[in-house]
């Protein structure tokens, strides 16, 4: 069964710096998909970025990028030039690429606090 682990419960950084949030996963599949979602203080959950396991290039969207290290089963989320509004809880998630595997497994989340 797939498993997603986020060991950092909370991170605090100063505004305009770069932060990395860790995520490791377990899967028996050779093909899988990795995602990061953001939950704001209001509770809203939104999709940020995704990485397909067969792609070697790290995904980048705006000031979000991923550090995909397949041999380590690791998918870190990097936020550059952080802003106060980046304060949120960030969830890592995975879906295996097998027939019938149509749901995401989420990690427990990392709370990011951006200080002025």
- Print the SS3 string covering 50-65: EEECCCCCCCEECCEE
- Print the SS3 string covering 36-54: EEEECCCCCEEEEEEEECC
Q: Do 87 and 113 contact (CB within 8 A), yes or no?
A: yes
Compare residues 76 and 109 and give the one whose CB is closer to another protein. Answer: 109
- Residue 44 binding another protein, by CB under 8 A: yes
- Residue 41 binding another protein, by CB under 8 A: no
Q: Do 78 and 20 contact (CB within 8 A), yes or no?
A: yes
Q: How far is Cα of residue 42 from the mean position of the Cα atoms in its chain? A: 20
- Residue 25 binding another protein, by CB under 8 A: no
Residue of the chain from 46, 56, 62, 116 that contacts another protein (CB under 8 A): 46
- Residue 76 binding another protein, by CB under 8 A: no
Compare residues 41 and 71 and give the one whose CB is closer to another protein. Answer: 41
- Residue 36 binding another protein, by CB under 8 A: no
Residue 85: both structure tokens together: 């509004």
Q: How many CA atoms lie within 13 Å of 77's alpha carbon, on the beta-carbon side?
A: 30
Residue of the chain from 75, 77, 91, 96 that contacts another protein (CB under 8 A): 91
Q: How far is the CB of 75 from another protein (least distance, A)?
A: 15
Residues at the interface with another protein (CB under 8 A): 6, 33, 37, 43-47, 50, 91, 93, 95, 102-109
């Amino acid at each position: 069964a797939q498993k997603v682990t986020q060991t950092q419960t909370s991170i605090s950084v100063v505004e305009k710096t770069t932060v990395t949030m860790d995520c490791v996963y377990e899967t028996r599949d050779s093909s899988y998909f990795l995602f990061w979602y953001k939950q704001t203080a209001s509770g809203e959950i939104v999709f940020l970025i995704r990485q397909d396991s067969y792609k070697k290039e790290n995904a980048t969207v705006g000031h979000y990028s991923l550090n995909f290290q397949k041999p380590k089963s690791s998918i870190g989320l990097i936020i550059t030039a952080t802003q106060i509004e980046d304060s949120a809880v960030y969830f890592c998630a995975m879906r295996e690429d097998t027939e019938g595997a149509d749901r995401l497994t989420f990690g427990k989340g990392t709370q990011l606090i951006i200080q002025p």
